Structure 1
Protein backbone atom coordinates (compact mmCIF):
# COMPACT_ATOMS: atom_id res chain seq x y z
CA UNK A 1 0.00 0.00 0.00
CA UNK A 2 1.04 3.58 -0.64
CA UNK A 3 0.17 6.37 1.80
CA UNK A 4 -0.11 10.15 1.88
CA UNK A 5 -0.54 12.05 5.14
CA UNK A 6 -2.18 15.39 5.92
CA UNK A 7 -1.02 16.59 9.33
CA UNK A 8 -2.83 19.34 11.20
CA UNK A 9 -0.16 21.66 12.57
CA UNK A 10 -0.58 24.41 15.22
CA UNK A 11 -1.19 26.99 12.46
CA UNK A 12 -3.95 24.91 10.79
CA UNK A 13 -7.60 26.03 10.68
CA UNK A 14 -8.50 23.37 13.23
CA UNK A 15 -6.52 21.11 15.52
CA UNK A 16 -8.64 17.97 15.25
CA UNK A 17 -10.62 16.29 12.50
CA UNK A 18 -13.42 13.74 12.54
CA UNK A 19 -14.54 11.33 9.86
CA UNK A 20 -17.68 13.48 9.47
CA UNK A 21 -15.45 16.49 8.74
CA UNK A 22 -13.73 14.51 5.99
CA UNK A 23 -17.09 13.45 4.53
CA UNK A 24 -18.24 17.07 4.59
CA UNK A 25 -15.07 18.14 2.75
CA UNK A 26 -15.65 15.48 0.08
CA UNK A 27 -19.24 16.70 -0.37
CA UNK A 28 -17.85 20.24 -0.62
CA UNK A 29 -15.47 19.01 -3.34
CA UNK A 30 -18.39 17.45 -5.25
CA UNK A 31 -20.35 20.73 -5.01
CA UNK A 32 -17.43 22.82 -6.26
CA UNK A 33 -16.76 20.51 -9.20
CA UNK A 34 -20.44 20.35 -10.15
CA UNK A 35 -20.54 24.16 -10.26
CA UNK A 36 -17.47 24.12 -12.49
CA UNK A 37 -19.26 21.66 -14.76
CA UNK A 38 -22.32 23.91 -14.93
CA UNK A 39 -20.16 26.86 -15.96
CA UNK A 40 -18.58 24.98 -18.85
CA UNK A 41 -21.77 23.08 -19.71
CA UNK A 42 -20.28 19.64 -19.01
CA UNK A 43 -21.37 16.89 -16.59
CA UNK A 44 -18.10 17.09 -14.68
CA UNK A 45 -19.33 15.83 -11.29
CA UNK A 46 -19.09 12.09 -12.04
CA UNK A 47 -15.74 12.53 -13.74
CA UNK A 48 -14.25 14.67 -10.97
CA UNK A 49 -15.45 12.40 -8.15
CA UNK A 50 -16.07 8.89 -9.56
CA UNK A 51 -16.38 7.30 -6.11
CA UNK A 52 -19.05 6.28 -3.65
CA UNK A 53 -18.24 7.02 0.00
CA UNK A 54 -18.55 3.92 2.21
CA UNK A 55 -18.04 3.81 6.00
CA UNK A 56 -15.72 0.94 6.92
CA UNK A 57 -15.21 1.85 10.60
CA UNK A 58 -15.45 4.81 12.96
CA UNK A 59 -12.13 6.16 11.67
CA UNK A 60 -11.95 5.03 8.04
CA UNK A 61 -13.77 5.56 4.76
CA UNK A 62 -13.54 3.63 1.54
CA UNK A 63 -13.99 5.47 -1.71
CA UNK A 64 -15.24 2.75 -4.07
CA UNK A 65 -15.66 3.31 -7.80
CA UNK A 66 -17.66 1.44 -10.41
CA UNK A 67 -15.79 3.12 -13.29
CA UNK A 68 -13.32 1.01 -15.24
CA UNK A 69 -10.42 3.46 -14.72
CA UNK A 70 -10.75 3.53 -10.93
CA UNK A 71 -10.89 0.98 -8.13
CA UNK A 72 -10.73 2.32 -4.57
CA UNK A 73 -9.02 4.68 -2.13
CA UNK A 74 -9.01 4.44 1.68
CA UNK A 75 -9.14 7.53 3.90
CA UNK A 76 -8.54 7.35 7.65
CA UNK A 77 -8.04 9.69 10.56
CA UNK A 78 -5.88 9.42 13.64
CA UNK A 79 -3.78 11.19 16.25
CA UNK A 80 -0.02 10.87 16.66
CA UNK A 81 2.06 12.91 19.13
CA UNK A 82 -0.99 15.08 19.90
CA UNK A 83 -1.38 16.04 16.22
CA UNK A 84 -4.38 14.92 14.20
CA UNK A 85 -3.79 13.54 10.73
CA UNK A 86 -5.67 12.22 7.72
CA UNK A 87 -4.17 9.23 5.95
CA UNK A 88 -4.98 8.58 2.29
CA UNK A 89 -4.06 5.03 1.26
CA UNK A 90 -3.96 3.26 -2.08
CA UNK A 91 -4.44 -0.53 -1.99
CA UNK A 92 -2.38 -2.77 -4.24
CA UNK A 93 -5.37 -2.99 -6.62
CA UNK A 94 -5.39 0.79 -7.15
CA UNK A 95 -5.04 2.10 -10.70
CA UNK A 96 -3.07 5.08 -12.01
CA UNK A 97 -6.39 6.94 -12.05
CA UNK A 98 -6.82 6.27 -8.33
CA UNK A 99 -3.36 7.65 -7.61
CA UNK A 100 -4.09 10.81 -9.58
CA UNK A 101 -7.41 11.33 -7.79
CA UNK A 102 -5.82 10.55 -4.41
CA UNK A 103 -3.18 13.24 -5.04
CA UNK A 104 -5.90 15.68 -6.07
CA UNK A 105 -8.08 14.91 -3.03
CA UNK A 106 -5.07 15.09 -0.68
CA UNK A 107 -4.14 18.54 -1.94
CA UNK A 108 -7.77 19.69 -1.67
CA UNK A 109 -8.07 18.44 1.93
CA UNK A 110 -4.71 19.91 2.96
CA UNK A 111 -5.57 23.26 1.39
CA UNK A 112 -8.98 23.46 3.09
CA UNK A 113 -7.57 22.47 6.48
CA UNK A 114 -4.34 24.48 6.02
CA UNK A 115 -2.23 21.47 6.93
CA UNK A 116 1.04 19.85 5.95
CA UNK A 117 0.81 17.25 3.18
CA UNK A 118 3.31 14.44 2.73
CA UNK A 119 2.68 13.07 -0.76
CA UNK A 120 2.94 9.46 -1.91
CA UNK A 121 6.44 10.14 -3.28
CA UNK A 122 7.67 11.46 0.08
CA UNK A 123 7.70 15.14 -0.84
CA UNK A 124 6.06 17.64 1.51
CA UNK A 125 3.72 20.50 0.63
CA UNK A 126 2.83 23.20 3.16
CA UNK A 127 -0.61 24.78 3.01
CA UNK A 128 -0.48 26.75 6.27
CA UNK A 129 0.78 30.28 6.77
CA UNK A 130 4.47 30.18 7.64
Structure 2
Protein backbone atom coordinates (compact mmCIF):
# COMPACT_ATOMS: atom_id res chain seq x y z
CA UNK A 1 0.00 0.00 0.00
CA UNK A 2 1.46 3.39 -0.96
CA UNK A 3 2.48 5.77 1.83
CA UNK A 4 2.27 9.56 1.71
CA UNK A 5 3.81 12.51 3.50
CA UNK A 6 2.43 16.05 3.19
CA UNK A 7 4.01 19.51 3.41
CA UNK A 8 1.72 22.45 3.99
CA UNK A 9 3.43 25.85 3.78
CA UNK A 10 1.92 28.82 5.60
CA UNK A 11 1.88 30.77 2.33
CA UNK A 12 1.05 29.23 -1.01
CA UNK A 13 3.31 31.66 -2.90
CA UNK A 14 6.24 29.22 -2.92
CA UNK A 15 4.15 26.15 -3.65
CA UNK A 16 4.92 25.26 -7.26
CA UNK A 17 6.66 22.30 -8.79
CA UNK A 18 9.23 24.57 -10.42
CA UNK A 19 10.18 25.93 -7.01
CA UNK A 20 10.39 22.39 -5.58
CA UNK A 21 12.61 21.33 -8.49
CA UNK A 22 14.88 24.31 -7.85
CA UNK A 23 15.12 23.34 -4.16
CA UNK A 24 16.03 19.77 -5.14
CA UNK A 25 18.65 21.18 -7.51
CA UNK A 26 20.01 23.27 -4.63
CA UNK A 27 20.10 20.12 -2.46
CA UNK A 28 22.10 18.28 -5.12
CA UNK A 29 24.48 21.23 -5.38
CA UNK A 30 25.17 21.52 -1.65
CA UNK A 31 25.68 17.77 -1.26
CA UNK A 32 28.16 17.73 -4.16
CA UNK A 33 30.09 20.59 -2.51
CA UNK A 34 30.16 18.60 0.73
CA UNK A 35 31.59 15.69 -1.25
CA UNK A 36 34.29 17.92 -2.76
CA UNK A 37 35.34 19.03 0.71
CA UNK A 38 35.53 15.40 1.85
CA UNK A 39 37.19 14.17 -1.37
CA UNK A 40 34.34 11.70 -1.79
CA UNK A 41 31.51 11.41 -4.30
CA UNK A 42 28.92 12.12 -1.62
CA UNK A 43 26.40 13.57 -4.05
CA UNK A 44 25.79 10.12 -5.58
CA UNK A 45 24.89 8.74 -2.15
CA UNK A 46 23.02 11.83 -0.95
CA UNK A 47 20.77 12.05 -4.02
CA UNK A 48 20.72 8.71 -5.86
CA UNK A 49 17.84 9.71 -8.16
CA UNK A 50 17.14 11.12 -11.59
CA UNK A 51 14.32 13.67 -11.83
CA UNK A 52 11.74 12.57 -14.44
CA UNK A 53 9.09 15.12 -15.43
CA UNK A 54 5.55 14.34 -16.54
CA UNK A 55 5.02 15.12 -20.23
CA UNK A 56 1.36 16.22 -20.28
CA UNK A 57 1.02 18.39 -17.19
CA UNK A 58 2.61 19.97 -14.19
CA UNK A 59 0.82 18.27 -11.30
CA UNK A 60 3.55 15.78 -10.39
CA UNK A 61 6.99 14.42 -11.20
CA UNK A 62 9.00 11.52 -9.88
CA UNK A 63 12.49 10.63 -8.78
CA UNK A 64 13.79 7.40 -10.34
CA UNK A 65 16.52 5.57 -8.47
CA UNK A 66 19.95 5.15 -10.06
CA UNK A 67 20.91 2.21 -7.82
CA UNK A 68 19.16 -1.03 -6.91
CA UNK A 69 18.60 0.16 -3.31
CA UNK A 70 16.46 3.07 -4.55
CA UNK A 71 13.50 2.77 -6.90
CA UNK A 72 11.02 5.67 -6.91
CA UNK A 73 9.60 8.68 -5.06
CA UNK A 74 6.63 10.60 -6.50
CA UNK A 75 6.18 14.32 -5.72
CA UNK A 76 3.02 16.24 -6.57
CA UNK A 77 0.61 19.02 -5.64
CA UNK A 78 -2.70 18.15 -4.01
CA UNK A 79 -5.15 20.62 -2.40
CA UNK A 80 -2.55 23.35 -1.73
CA UNK A 81 -0.18 20.79 -0.22
CA UNK A 82 2.93 19.10 -1.48
CA UNK A 83 2.51 15.31 -1.41
CA UNK A 84 5.43 12.89 -1.38
CA UNK A 85 4.37 9.34 -2.24
CA UNK A 86 6.21 6.07 -1.80
CA UNK A 87 4.61 3.55 -4.19
CA UNK A 88 4.37 -0.16 -3.41
CA UNK A 89 7.68 -0.98 -5.10
CA UNK A 90 9.63 1.52 -2.95
CA UNK A 91 12.42 0.23 -0.73
CA UNK A 92 13.52 1.08 2.80
CA UNK A 93 16.21 3.24 1.20
CA UNK A 94 13.51 5.21 -0.62
CA UNK A 95 11.64 5.79 2.64
CA UNK A 96 14.76 6.96 4.47
CA UNK A 97 15.72 9.30 1.62
CA UNK A 98 12.12 10.58 1.31
CA UNK A 99 12.09 11.42 5.03
CA UNK A 100 15.36 13.31 4.61
CA UNK A 101 14.07 15.22 1.56
CA UNK A 102 10.76 15.99 3.31
CA UNK A 103 12.59 17.54 6.26
CA UNK A 104 14.85 19.55 3.95
CA UNK A 105 11.90 20.85 1.91
CA UNK A 106 9.84 21.61 5.02
CA UNK A 107 12.70 23.62 6.45
CA UNK A 108 13.19 25.61 3.22
CA UNK A 109 9.44 26.19 2.70
CA UNK A 110 8.74 26.86 6.42
CA UNK A 111 6.00 24.24 6.16
CA UNK A 112 4.19 21.89 8.50
CA UNK A 113 5.26 18.34 7.67
CA UNK A 114 3.07 15.29 8.20
CA UNK A 115 5.39 12.30 7.96
CA UNK A 116 4.65 8.85 6.56
CA UNK A 117 3.86 7.55 10.06
CA UNK A 118 1.24 10.29 10.62
CA UNK A 119 3.27 12.41 13.04
CA UNK A 120 3.58 16.12 12.39
CA UNK A 121 6.70 18.28 12.52
CA UNK A 122 6.30 22.07 12.56
CA UNK A 123 8.88 24.05 10.63
CA UNK A 124 6.69 27.15 10.19
CA UNK A 125 7.62 30.18 12.20
CA UNK A 126 4.97 31.08 14.74
Q: TM-score, normalised by structure 2?
A: 0.92
Q: Unmatched 5+ residue regions in structure 1?
A: none
Deviation of the 1:33 alpha carbon: 0.5
Note the aligned Cα RMSD (angstroms).
1.2
2:1 matched to 1:3?
no
Kept in 2: contact 1:64–1:73 (CA 8 A): yes
Deviation of the 1:58 alpha carbon: 1.0
Deviation of the 1:129 alpha carbon: 1.2
Q: 2:13 aligns to what SS in structure 1?
A: coil
Q: Unmatched 5+ residue regions in structure 2?
A: none
Q: 2:104 aligns to what SS in structure 1?
A: helix
Aligned length: 123
CA distance in 2, matches of 1:63, 1:120: 17
Q: 1:32 aligns to what SS in structure 2?
A: helix
Residue 75 of structure 1 is matched in structure 2 by 75
Residue 115 of structure 2 is matched in structure 1 by 119
Kept in 2: contact 1:9–1:15 (CA 8 A): no
**Selected match of 1:105 from 101, 104, 108:** 101
CA distance in 2, matches of 1:102, 1:125: 15
Residue 29 of structure 1 is matched in structure 2 by 27
